Amino acid sequence: MLYMYIYIYVCVSQLTCCKLSFGKPTELYALISILKMKRELCSLVFWKAIFAEFLATLIFVFFGLGSALRWPAALPTVLQISLAFGLVIGTLVQSVGHISGAHINPAVTMSFLVGSQISLIRAFFYIIAQLLGGLAGAGILYGVVSPNVRGNLAINTLSNNITPGVAFVVEMILTFQLVMCIFASTDSRREDNVGSPALSIGLSVTLGHLVGIYFTGCSMNPARSFAPAVVVRRFTNHWVFWIGPLAGGMLASLTYNYILFPSTKTRSQKLAILLGTYVEEESWSDQQDNCKRQSLECDDRCNKRGVGFGLPPAGCSE
């Protein structure tokens, strides 16, 4: 029975490489979608990306918060903190961008989800990894510095008597410009010389801090705000540092992906991306070659297990 299931799984997966015309086989498409989502969860590449988000957020929070600690010998300046946050983001984008996309920020992940550029499953695990990575980074920093230096661990607070409403608007604007920069600098459709995404994104983070520190300490990243707040157990006006960045990021995604530079993907393709079942289009000859290759691989595997039914992959011509 197990061998039969293996054979059916392989052959049903092959249906996706062939242009079949079943009318509207809802149940079959649902089965294929479930199998594809399961395949993503079982993929080593997927979990490498999750770990990359965890590790990158850990490093980001450790270096970012560390730059804002109040050492008795020399208090940090706004320029120093801004450069530290920008440099660490630029470094991490260059380091793990090809592995996970280097979101390192729940607001960025949600903006990619709104723009139909990431699956729901991947977005969920990314955000969990980012929050856990931030907590780990803040916890390590808390443990390695002395009590007179760690203070409140550079948590985000409202400064200069601004109201929560103003803080929300500021965080929304700061994150808006960051996410716009991310989409523009990583858009594969651009034919002009984009330059270095790591540099442009790092400068965008630096810019946000040069202005935002005077208002809220500059969050632009719920994971950055959540981690020290949990460690020192201070959550005053904490909602600002979630709702503001999330709103700004999603607004930037809608603006870029649906107004300024709309995607050419159809609704069904966008839905497939959200469900984790989207596959880039291939030429018909490539699809036929893939079908034949998978047929041989399927027969080899099944023959070795004693279940060689001698069937060609469904929908593929001999």
> Is 244 found in the same domain as 286?
no
> Is 301 found in the same domain as 177?
no
CATH code where residue 156 lies: 1.20.1080.10
> Is 14 found in the same domain as 57?
no
The whole-number pLDDT of residue 306 equals 56
> Is 154 found in the same domain as 21?
no
Is residue 316 included in any domain, yes or no?
Answer: no
Burial 167-205 (b: 16+ CB within 10 A, else e): bbbbbbbbbbbbbbbbbbbbeeeeeeeeeebbebbbbbb
User: Quick one: which of 125, 220, 233, 128 has its CA closest to 170?
Assistant: 220
Is residue 207 included in any domain, yes or no?
Answer: yes
Instruction: Look up the domain containing 292 and give its range.
Output: 2-39+282-305
- With residue 178 as reference, give the H or E element that holds it: helix 164-185
> Is 258 found in the same domain as 126?
yes
Is residue 258 included in any domain, yes or no?
Answer: yes
CA distances from 51 to 55, 112, 128, 215 (A): 6, 19, 11, 33
> Is 28 found in the same domain as 167?
no
The whole-number pLDDT of residue 263 equals 86
> Is 239 found in the same domain as 98?
yes
3-state secondary structure of 102: coil
Amino acid at 10: V
> Is 65 found in the same domain as 25?
no
Distance of CA 289 to the CA centre of its chain: 33
Is residue 57 included in any domain, yes or no?
Answer: yes
Is residue 317 included in any domain, yes or no?
Answer: no
Write out the two tokens for 155: 């948590």
How far, in Å, CA of 168 to CA of 245, rounded? 8
Is residue 311 included in any domain, yes or no?
Answer: no
Query: pLDDT tens per residue, the chain (318 residues)?
Result: 444 444 444 444 444 444 444 444 555 555 555 656 667 788 899 999 999 999 999 999 999 999 999 988 888 999 999 999 999 999 999 999 999 999 999 999 999 999 999 999 999 999 999 999 999 999 999 999 999 999 999 999 999 899 999 999 999 999 999 999 999 999 989 888 778 999 999 999 999 999 999 999 999 999 999 999 999 999 999 999 999 999 999 999 999 999 999 988 888 898 888 888 776 654 444 545 655 666 666 566 656 655 444 444 444 444
Q: How many domains does one find in the chain?
A: 2
Q: What is the pTM of this model?
A: 0.78
> Is 53 found in the same domain as 35?
no
> Is 196 found in the same domain as 136?
yes
> Is 212 found in the same domain as 66?
yes
Write out the two tokens for 76: 């940090």
Residue written as token pair 């399961």? 38
Is residue 318 included in any domain, yes or no?
Answer: no
